[in-house]
Structure 1
Amino acid sequence: MSSVPTVEGFLDYTPVAAGKQCQTWYKIYGNLRSGVRPLVVAHGGPGLSHDYMDTVADLAAAPYNLPVVFYDQIGGGRSTKLPEKYRDYGFWNEQLFLDELTALLSHLGIQGNYDLLGNSWGGMLSSVHAARQPQGLKRLVLSGTPSSAASWCKAYHRYREQMPEPHRSILKQPRDFDTEDTPEYNKAIGLFFSRHVVNVDPIPEGFQRSFEFLEKDPTVAHSTLGKSEFQFVGFCMTWSMENELHKISVPTLLINGVDEGADDESLEKFHKGIVNSKWVKFTGSTHTPHLEEREKFMKVVGEFLTA
């Protein structure tokens, strides 16, 4: 990747109800003025950073040579933190993140011609963006994206029941915001993550960085997902695209792995709901095939975006 030029910058804007000007950090691989349609990458969380997705920058090199745009969503990574909005469920809403994405596209001057790739929560955000039918969006990639929060939690509850004891009982214990993480819980959730989120040893540096950012400031995560991996709070608790999928009209690539939160039931709904969609299952991956089957992921996505 050393031969691919990179540019970093900040988008300055003031979200409604933030009470202050905020900055969204972004990084561009390649040249947005090259004439090649750029790919914007929306990371998961909410509350993570782009770092665990940084392998997607592979697409900026040959043979695809796509300009790739990463950004850290508000409240996470290198963007403005808002700890004063901790558990402010009214502030942390879907529209906040949609407005940020729209502002970024405009700031970069690519709002008239771009592709969008979202993983996990980033895919949820991207699917809503696509359903509003922005004229500049040409192709959509949804990786590890559930059709609803309820479907994600249903899958996670099923996987939890398959955990061996004592891990199953530990993970079923209620987890309030003042619950301290014990060594026993960390061991149980670590085993769960290796089965259903990322099965790569050692854990990639980018993945570790994203969670280091999260640990330093969990405001966004605790205000949208809560303390538990198995029951959301805030707007994510009732989030669903199941009645809106027919509004997505651009060619869409659907990706999931094995035994992950975006299970086959969710992907079936996406595939049936989006007329112009293609579904590829990565049988050697869980929730992060861009890490677990990196070369195959880039080939599948790169060929889809350049077809």
Structure 2
Amino acid sequence: MQVNSNGLTYNVEVCGEGFPLLPLHGFTGDSSTWTPFCPVWGKHSRLIIPDIVGHGQTELSEDINRYKMEAVAADLIFILDRLEIEKIDILGYSMGGRLALTIAILYPHRIRKLILESASPGLVTEEERIMRRMKDGELANFINEHGIEAFVDYWEAIPLFSSMDALPEPMKDRIRAQRLSNSSKGLMNSLLGMGTGAQPSWWEKLQLLSCEVLLVTGEKDEKFCRIAEKMQKYLKKASWIVINGCGHAIHVEQKEKFGTIVSDFL
């Protein structure tokens, strides 16, 4: 389904019945990240699955401001309004987790439950954010100069995704094909507008969240395990689950277990 939000046309997949669930994919992903979970989660939730701007079939914008975290959060709230959905559960993975947290902080009255998979509230200091913006700018230039295939080669080789090397070849091929289906311009603008260095730090806002929060991390993803441990101390109603034997992309590496954990929490 195509939904116009503030002048930008979003691609949104819908499945299932029940209380609305907004699943948000990670960088280089798209709505197909979550459609395999429709048979499971669709039994208890109505899934509203967008292609986040810069990804999938959602319209590209030349305006970098349309990729900023707060602007995308506003777009998604507008889409929910168009669909006459008042309150939701949100699930966000990595970049999508940062976006989910942004929505929960800016629109707390719209959130029932929040699930963050391998996600962070951003970087604490402005110095860290400046350094990250520089790195993301370099990555955007790399995409511009070398093309999306060279970038995906680089992206798949970063240590964050090393545990995915053990996945079956057909699965890795599908993930690669999906990543390559994105546009160079979309990924460049996403890096510059929605990168960790470009977003506000939400660390000091975590204590304001009153909804139930589930943090999920993979045992091999030590960085995000440390972040989740720290986040749990700030959140009022948070639980944290560590999944053994996997890294950053838990929903891929341990699909059935992840699906059950989400269903149980919701």
TM-score, length of structure 1 as denominator length: 0.71
Distance apart, 1:238 and its partner CA? 4.5
Match in the other structure for 1:55: 36
Tell me the alpha carbon deviations over residues 174-210 of structure 1, each in whole angstroms, 9 at most, x when there is no partner: 76435537x9997665443641567522235663343
Match in the other structure for 1:200: 167
Q: Secondary structure at the match of 1:117?
A: strand
**1:104 and 1:22 mapped to 2: Cα distance?**
11
**8 A contact 2:122–2:197 mirrored in 1:** no
**8 A contact 1:199–1:286 mirrored in 2:** no
Among 215, 237, 259, the residue aligned to 2:197: 237
Distance apart, 1:25 and its partner CA? 1.1
Among 86, 93, 98, the residue aligned to 1:124: 98
Match in the other structure for 1:94: 69
Change (3 A) 1:91 1:301: closer
Match in the other structure for 2:132: none
**8 A contact 2:121–2:202 mirrored in 1:** yes
Map 1:130-279 to 2 at 5 A.
130-149=104-123, 176-177=141-142, 179-180=145-146, 190-192=156-158, 194-195=161-162, 199-202=166-169, 203=171, 207-214=175-182, 217-225=183-191, 236-239=196-199, 240-260=201-221, 263-279=224-240
TM-score, length of structure 2 as denominator length: 0.80
- Which 10-residue stretch deviates more, 204-213 or 135-144? 204-213
Distance apart, 1:301 and its partner CA? 0.9
Tell me the alpha carbon deviations over residues 3-39 of structure 1, each in whole angstroms, 9 at most, x when there is no partner: xxxxxx111133xxxxxx32111111123xxxx3121
- What amino acid maps onto 1:11 in structure 2? V
- What amino acid maps onto 1:213 in structure 2? S
**1:191 and 1:287 mapped to 2: Cα distance?**
13
Match in the other structure for 2:134: none
**1:94 and 1:184 mapped to 2: Cα distance?**
26
Q: Which runs of no fewer than 5 residues in structure 1 stay unpaired?
A: 1-8, 15-20, 155-173, 227-232
Work out whether 1:74 is the aligned partner of 2:74: no
- What amino acid maps onto 1:293 in structure 2? Q
- Which 10-residue stretch deviates more, 290-299 or 256-265? 256-265
Match in the other structure for 1:106: 81
Match in the other structure for 1:18: none
Tell me the alpha carbon deviations over residues 263-290 of structure 1, each in whole angstroms, 9 at most, x when there is no partner: 2221112111111001001112211111
**1:257 and 1:141 mapped to 2: Cα distance?**
14
Q: How many residues align?
A: 250
Distance apart, 1:105 and its partner CA? 1.1
**2:104 and 2:152 mapped to 1: Cα distance?**
37
CA RMSD of aligned residues (A): 3.1
- Which 10-residue stretch deviates more, 195-204 or 116-125? 195-204
Change (3 A) 1:123 1:200: same
- What amino acid maps onto 1:72 in structure 2? D
Change (3 A) 1:291 1:131: same
Distance apart, 1:297 and its partner CA? 0.8
Q: Secondary structure at the match of 1:243?
A: helix
**1:128 and 1:276 mapped to 2: Cα distance?**
17
Q: Secondary structure at the match of 1:38?
A: strand
Larger Cα Rg: Structure 1 or Structure 2?
1
Distance apart, 1:96 and its partner CA? 1.7
**2:124 and 2:165 mapped to 1: Cα distance?**
21
**8 A contact 2:10–2:59 mirrored in 1:** yes
Q: Which runs of no fewer than 5 residues in structure 2 stay unpaired?
A: 129-137
Distance apart, 1:55 and its partner CA? 2.7
**1:117 and 1:109 mapped to 2: Cα distance?**
19
Q: Secondary structure at the match of 2:49?
A: strand
